[in-house]
Structure 1
Amino acid sequence: MSVFSDPQSRGFARVTGLFYLSVAFIGPFAILYVPAQIGVPGDAAATLNNLIAKRGLFMAGAGGEAAIMLIEVVLAALLYTMFRVVNPTLSAMAGLARFGEAAVMGAMLLFSAAALSVADPATAFGGIDEVQRAGLAATMVHAHDAGVWVWQLFFALHLAILGQLVARSGLYPRLIGHAMTLGSVGYVLDTMSAFAFPNSGALAMVTGVFLAIVTLAEVSFALWLIIRGPRRAAA
C-alpha cells in the first residue's frame, strides 16, 4: 500500500485517475442506459413488465451503481488527501460533498431492491391487485431515478470546489480546473430542469452545453492524473 503514502506522487495520482476514469465507463450504463430501459413514464404496467422481463439488466444496473457508490467514497478520500495542501477547508468541503453523493446513491439502491420485491410475484406483494402492484413498482422506480437529481446537487458542489482547488494548486492545468467549476452548473441546471422545468427546450440546450464542458474537463483531469501526474512530481 506504499502508493498511498505520498499524496503528491505520480503513483497516487495515477491510482486516483484510474478510479476517476472508471466512473466514466460504468456511469453511462448504470445511470443512463438501464433506467431508460426499465422506466416508462406514464405507464406503470409497462414499467412492471420491464422489471420482470429485464430483471437481469436491472440487477446489472444496480450492481454498477453499487460499484460507483464505493468508488465515490474512495475518491472522496483520495481527492481530499491530494488537495488539502492547497486549502484544507475547501478540500474537506469537496470531500464531504462527494461522500454525500455516494450516500444518496446508497439510498437509491434501497428503492431498487424494493422495486424488485414488488415486481416478484412470489413475494407478499404478489397477492395484491395487479394495477396496485404496477403502480407501486413504478413509484419505486421513479423514486430511484429521482435520486440522480438529488445527488447531482452534491456532485455540483464537489466539482465547483474541486475545480478551484485544481486551478489554484499549481500542480495541474488551470484551464481544466476552471472548466470543472464552470461545467458544474450543468448538474444544477439538469436537476432544475427535471424538477421545475421538464418541458423547457431552451434550458435543456443550455444544460447540455454545461454538461459537455464538465464531462470534457473531468475526463481530461482523469487522463492527466493517469498520464502526467502532478507537475511538482515531474520536476
Structure 2
Amino acid sequence: MTDLEHARQCLQAAHHVAVMTGAGISAESGIPTFRAAQTGHWARFKPEDLASPQAYWRDPETVWAWYAGRCREVRAAAPNPGHLALAALERRKRKAETDDAETGSFLLATQNVDGLHQRAGSRRLVELHGNLTRARCERCSVRQPLTETEPFTPPHCPACGAKMRPDVVWFGENLPPLALAQAEAAFAPAQVTLVIGTSSVVEPAASLALLTLDNGGTVIEINPEPTPLTPLASFSLPMSASRALPALLEGWQ
C-alpha cells in the first residue's frame, strides 16, 4: 500500500479532522506570496514598510495602496481543485456527524488572507492571519468587507468615524487570540491533521500539528518541498495541493 492509499484510509476513517493551509495552496490560484508580490514600484520597500503598525502610522496612504492592489489580485483569482477538495472534505465530515453515533468534528485553520477557502465553500474555518478583503477599525474593531470599488485612501469606520486598516496580522502583532484558541482546541484532539502548502516555520501556527502528534494523532503533510515537519509527519506526500487533495478523496463512498 502506498503512502497516498494509507493516508486516504486514515482520513476517511477519522471522526476528528483538522487542516492547516499556507501560501502553497493559493499559489496554485496565481496569488503570489507577500515578498513575491513586491515587484515594480513596490520592490523598493522593505516588507515591514508595508506591513507593520508603525508603517501605517507613518504613511497610511502608501500601506493602504499596497493592500488595495493585493485585494484586486485576490478578486481576480479563483479557488483551485485543492480549495474545492477541502470544502468537499468538510461536507463529508459534517454529514458523518449526523450519520454516525459518534459526533465528529472538522476545522480548517488557514494562514492565508485571500478568502479563497470561503469562496470554495469552506465554512468551519479560522483565519489566523486575517483577511485582506476586509477593513478593521483601529479604535472600535468594527469590521466591514471591502467593495469592488474600495477607496484608494484608508476608509473611516461607519460606527465611530476612526480610520480603518486592513484586517490582517502585521509584523510585530500577535495572532487573534480567539482564532488561535479555536485552532489549538481542534488540532490537539484531531485523529488526522492535514498540513498543506506551508513551510512549517512560522510560529505559533507551525506547532499546531505537533499538538496532534503529541496526542497520538496522524499528521499528513502535503508539500512539493520538504519542510521541518517532513521527518515528523506520519505521511508526507510530495505533491501539489491541487493533485493530492482530490486524490485523497478519490473513491470515497
Task: Output the TM-score relative to the length of structure 2.
Answer: 0.38
Larger Rg computed on CA atoms: 1
Determine which structure has the larger strand proportion and give its number. 2
Give the alignment's TM-score, normalised by structure 1.
0.40
- Greater fraction helix: 1
